[in-house]
Amino acid sequence: MTSSSVPAARVPAQEPGEKKGAERGNRANSRRQRESSGGFLFSPWHLVLIPIALVMLVPMVWMLATSLETLNETRHFPPIIFPHTLRPANYSDVLTQAPFARWFVNTMIVTVVTVVGNLLFCSLAGYAFARIKFFGREIVFVMILATLMIPFQVVMIPTFIIVKDLGMINTLYALIVPNLAGAFGIFLLRQFFRTLPVELEEAARIDGASRLSVLFKIVLPLSGPALATLAVITFLWTWNDFLWPLITIYTPNNMTLQLGLATFEGTHQTSFNLLMAANVMSMLPVLLLFFLAQRYFIRGIATSGLKG
């Protein structure tokens, strides 16, 4: 009978907490490496994206330069990119020669009310199509999606007749009421709501919460990226809308920015320096909104493919 062998030393298993600590250490090391390299990691895609970004910036630089030129410099050929004499007075001339402030306020009112209306009504409809089972739900949803394939020019005249019969022509209500909800917003929020875990809603329903309470207290707080995306898209559509205000508004005091900018184009000549200055001022809210909502877009892209 052989003597008993000495048992081999056992390596203790790594605890879950130790694993998480090691992962955090690896992330910290990679973060320190990124910070030591200036916080910028080069990718081959940058060789493609940087030239495209420069090309996209050319019209904006040209617009900004033209807004600071004199009227004679704007008519020069070839165009002058760097004005010989800066003329910031073009911006003050826009405010004095046209009711630009009134146009800005009108556009802001229409845009904000339209965005709020879309967030409210589209979230209600999207939640109903995502969670509430009722007869013909899928058929109604498909019919709503089908309206996305109908060009606006097809429904423009019927919508105009309805607005006219309601007595809203040449008022801001004509720009707000027809756009308080849309098929795209319903589709976007419905798809996002379906990615949320239904167990949270069922627990709230067991505790006695109503459908509206579940929507406003649980679902919507978890839907920040989708709501921000819908808000930005609706803001851009409404802010830049030209055709619908053109056929429903005809007095200068009720015009929006895009409709008012067209008044700078005369029959025989156009003041391009004033027109570009007005364009620069009308573009500032859009740029500000983009920078504020950029992180929500990134979060939406990161979480849109997850489903609980």
**Opening angle at CA 238, ends 305 and 63, nearest 5:** 100
Taking the C-alpha atoms of residue 116 and residue 131, their distance in angstroms, rounded to an integer, is 22
Burial label for 142, CB within 10 Å (0-12, 13-18, 19+), is exposed
What pLDDT does 268 receive?
A: 58
What pLDDT does 109 receive?
A: 96
Model confidence over 252-273: pLDDT tens digits? 999 999 999 888 876 557 888 8
Q: Does 6 have pLDDT greater than 50?
A: no
Model confidence over 183-223: pLDDT tens digits? 999 999 999 999 899 998 999 988 888 999 999 999 999 99
What pLDDT does 248 receive?
A: 94
Contact indicator for 160, 146 with CB cutoff of 8 Å: no
Within a 13 Å sphere around the CA of 209, how many CA atoms are in the beta-carbon half? 17
Six token digits for residue 16 = 């879950």
Helices and strands, counts by H and E, the chain: 15, 0
Topology classification of domain 98-254+288-303: MetI-like fold (1.10.3720)
Contact indicator for 55, 245 with CB cutoff of 8 Å: no
SS3 content of the chain, % helix, strand, coil (to 5): 70, 0, 30
Taking the C-alpha atoms of residue 88 and residue 68, their distance in angstroms, rounded to an integer, is 6
The residues pairing with 265 across neighbouring beta strands, listed in sequence order, are 270
Listing DSSP states for 131-161 in one string gives: H---TTHHHHHHHHHHGGGS-HHHHHHHHHH
Among residues 193, 185, 231, the alpha carbon closest in space to that of 214 is found at 193
Average pLDDT value over all residues in the chain: 84
Contact indicator for 107, 256 with CB cutoff of 8 Å: yes
What pLDDT does 129 receive?
A: 95
Domain range summary for the chain, segments of one domain joined by +: 98-254+288-303
Give the amino acid at 37.
Answer: S
Taking the C-alpha atoms of residue 272 and residue 74, their distance in angstroms, rounded to an integer, is 7
Q: Does 23 have pLDDT greater than 70?
A: no
How many other C-beta atoms lie within 10 A of the C-beta of residue 152? 10
Model confidence over 57-115: pLDDT tens digits? 988 888 999 899 888 888 878 877 788 888 888 899 899 888 999 999 999 999 999 99
Taking the C-alpha atoms of residue 209 and residue 207, their distance in angstroms, rounded to an integer, is 6
Taking the C-alpha atoms of residue 248 and residue 232, their distance in angstroms, rounded to an integer, is 24
Bigger pLDDT: 173 vs 265: 173
Contact indicator for 273, 92 with CB cutoff of 8 Å: no
Given pLDDT bands bounded at 50, 70 and 90, which one contains residue 31?
low
Contact indicator for 70, 81 with CB cutoff of 8 Å: no
Overall pTM > 0.95? no
Model confidence over 106-120: pLDDT tens digits? 999 999 999 999 999
What pLDDT does 305 receive?
A: 46
What pLDDT does 9 receive?
A: 47
How many other C-beta atoms lie within 10 A of the C-beta of residue 2? 4
Among residues 64, 78, 56, 58, the alpha carbon closest in space to that of 272 is found at 64
